Amino acid sequence: MTSKSFDRRSVLKMGAAAASLPLFNINHAWSQEVLFDGQAFDAGGAVLRLGEWGGTWGETVQKYLIAAFEKEFNCKVQYDSSWPWFPKFVAGGPEKPPLDICNWNVPEMVKTSKAGDYFLSLDEIIPNIPNGKNLWPFATANGVGVVWAYNQYGYAYRNDLVNPPPAAFKDLWKPEYAGKRGTYITSNGLQMDFFVTACELFGKDQYDLEAGYQAMRELMPAKISDFTGNMQTLMERGEVVVAVALDSDPLQARDRGAPIGFWYWTEKQPIISQVHTISRYSEPMQKKLALAFLDRVLTPEFLSDMGREFYLRPTIQNAVLPDNLVKAGVVNTADSTKDYWTPDWNAYIDNEDDIVETVNEIFGG
């Protein structure tokens, strides 16, 4: 006879299976081919589980996209902002995705896709979203998900406290910024791009980790921040005068009248991407809704709204840039986007434990 606990367990499992039975039409429902042609359809009140950022970001996506989307497709979008996503996907395995469509930054997404067959491939997505034809080539260069918006890397600086302003990637290492320069912890995407770029520019190539470590050692003393909100406060209080940054926040601060300047890295031009994936093992209806949602994300109207609110830049050729971005000198042309650099995140993730350990040691002194 089997043990008591085994019995209990199998009973529980049977109960769970019975409860979920009506959801499955046939075995492997997820293997059905899912198509979306751009036309609205009636989802019959189905629930789409969306993973996205929290706070005002969430409220803005809700306002400009989700409200209309729910009406158009007769569905309910369940907005989930309980990042990080990687552990939640991996804990359940590919066949039990916690979300149907998810927004990521590239490294975490690559890490998840390396851990298993979690996402639809770009070949399965792009033909099924009519607006996908407008994407710039860099939007699919990561090979896993669809980049719908991005920001570019550079240095933010206090233009009342820094003179001359930074004009080269290596300017952050100037002795006068000791203790007043800022970067982020290893789990923050800004530090990942900063580190890889330092490897590339101080060493032979982006795989030259030793050069990157040496650069981080020479960067000390520096202020290390957990997240961007904290760094903004440090700059606002003048405790950091120059920091690794995305263009969005400094441009916004400048328009608000704060004494903040921004310089784009020119030697290499990495970007931070907002990138969507669709879970392979979600139900067919959810997958169809996810495709529809991604298609509606890639519209000039929504991207223009997000650009106005967050200084996010669009990845589609037919985008209409909002006034604030135009005023900041942002352009959206084939020429302006051709030099964007997507580092080899596969290699980074393979070495992540070593990078995290070593950089922790350097930052921890």
Partner 1 sequence: MHEESNVPSVFKAIAFLSLAILLVPMAVVVLAGLNSGDYLTFPPQGLSLRWIKAFLTSPTFLSAYGVSFVVALGATLVSTLFGTMAAVFLSRSSSGSVPVLRGFFMLPIVLPGVVLGLALYVFFVSSGVGLARTMPGLLIGHILVTCPFVIATVTASLVGFDRSLEEAARSLGAGPVTAFRLVTLKIIAPAISAGSIFAFIVSFGQFELTLFLTAPDLQTLPSAMYTSMRYKFEPTAAAAGIFAIALVVISMVVTSRLVNLKKIFER
Partner 2 sequence: MAPAPRKAMSEPGLWWLCLPAAAVFVVFFVIPVASLFGLSFNKSVAGVISYSNELTFDNFVRIFTRATYYEAILRSIWIAAVVSVTSLAFGYPLAYLIAKTTHPGRNTLLMILVLSSMQLDMVIRLFGLMVLFGDNGLINGFLLYLGLISRPLPLMYNTFGVIVGLVQITLPFMVLSLIGIIKAIHPSLEEAARSLGASRLQAFFSIVLPLSMPGILAGALLVFALSISSYVVPALMGGWKVIVLPIHIYQQIAEVGRWQFGAAIAVVLFVTSVIAVAIYHQAAARTSGGRT
Q: Which residues bind partner 2 (CB under 8 A)?
A: 84, 86-87, 90-91, 111-112, 114-116, 185-187, 223-226, 230, 233-234, 237-239, 349, 352-353, 356-357, 360-361, 363-365
Q: Of these partners, partner 1, partner 2, none, which one is at the site of residue 361 (CB under 5 to 8 Å by kind)?
A: partner 2
Q: How far is the CB of 253 from partner 1 (least distance, A)?
A: 8
Q: How far is the CB of 178 from partner 1 (least distance, A)?
A: 25
What residues pair up with 271 in beta bridges, in sequence order?
Answer: 152
Cβ nearer to partner 1, comparing 98 with 259: 98
Give the distance from CA 284 to its chain's centroid: 25
β-strand 101-104 against 47-51: which pairing, if any?
A: parallel
Does residue 19 contact residue 49 with C-beta atoms inside 8 Å?
A: no
Q: Which amino acid is at 268?
A: K
Quote the tokens at residue 353: 């434990």
Cβ nearer to partner 1, comparing 81 with 324: 81
Quote the tokens at residue 341: 């650099």
Cβ nearer to partner 2, comparing 70 with 352: 352
Cβ nearer to partner 1, comparing 49 with 268: 49
Q: Of these partners, partner 2, partner 1, none, which one is at the site of residue 173 (CB under 5 to 8 Å by kind)?
A: none
Q: How far is the CB of 72 from partner 2 (least distance, A)?
A: 36
Q: How far is the CB of 297 from partner 1 (least distance, A)?
A: 18
Cβ nearer to partner 2, comparing 210 with 357: 357
Cβ nearer to partner 1, comparing 249 with 295: 249
Residues of 242-257 as b/e, b for ≥16 C-beta within 10 angstroms? bbbbbbbbbbbbbeee
Q: Of these partners, partner 1, partner 2, none, which one is at the site of residue 96 (CB under 5 to 8 Å by kind)?
A: partner 1
Q: How far is the CB of 97 from partner 2 (least distance, A)?
A: 14
* CA distance to 250, 277, 292, 316, 344, per residue, from 140 (Å): 27, 11, 18, 11, 14
Q: How far is the CB of 247 from partner 2 (least distance, A)?
A: 24
Q: Of these partners, partner 1, partner 2, none, which one is at the site of residue 78 (CB under 5 to 8 Å by kind)?
A: partner 1
Q: How far is the CB of 175 from partner 1 (least distance, A)?
A: 30
Q: Of these partners, partner 2, partner 1, none, which one is at the site of residue 112 (CB under 5 to 8 Å by kind)?
A: partner 2
Does residue 142 contact residue 344 with C-beta atoms inside 8 Å?
A: no
What residues pair up with 275 in beta bridges, in sequence order?
Answer: 104, 147
Q: Of these partners, partner 2, partner 1, none, which one is at the site of residue 16 (CB under 5 to 8 Å by kind)?
A: partner 1
The rounded radius of gyration (Å) of the Cα atoms in the chain is 22
Cβ nearer to partner 2, comparing 278 with 355: 355
Q: Of these partners, partner 2, partner 1, none, which one is at the site of residue 223 (CB under 5 to 8 Å by kind)?
A: partner 2
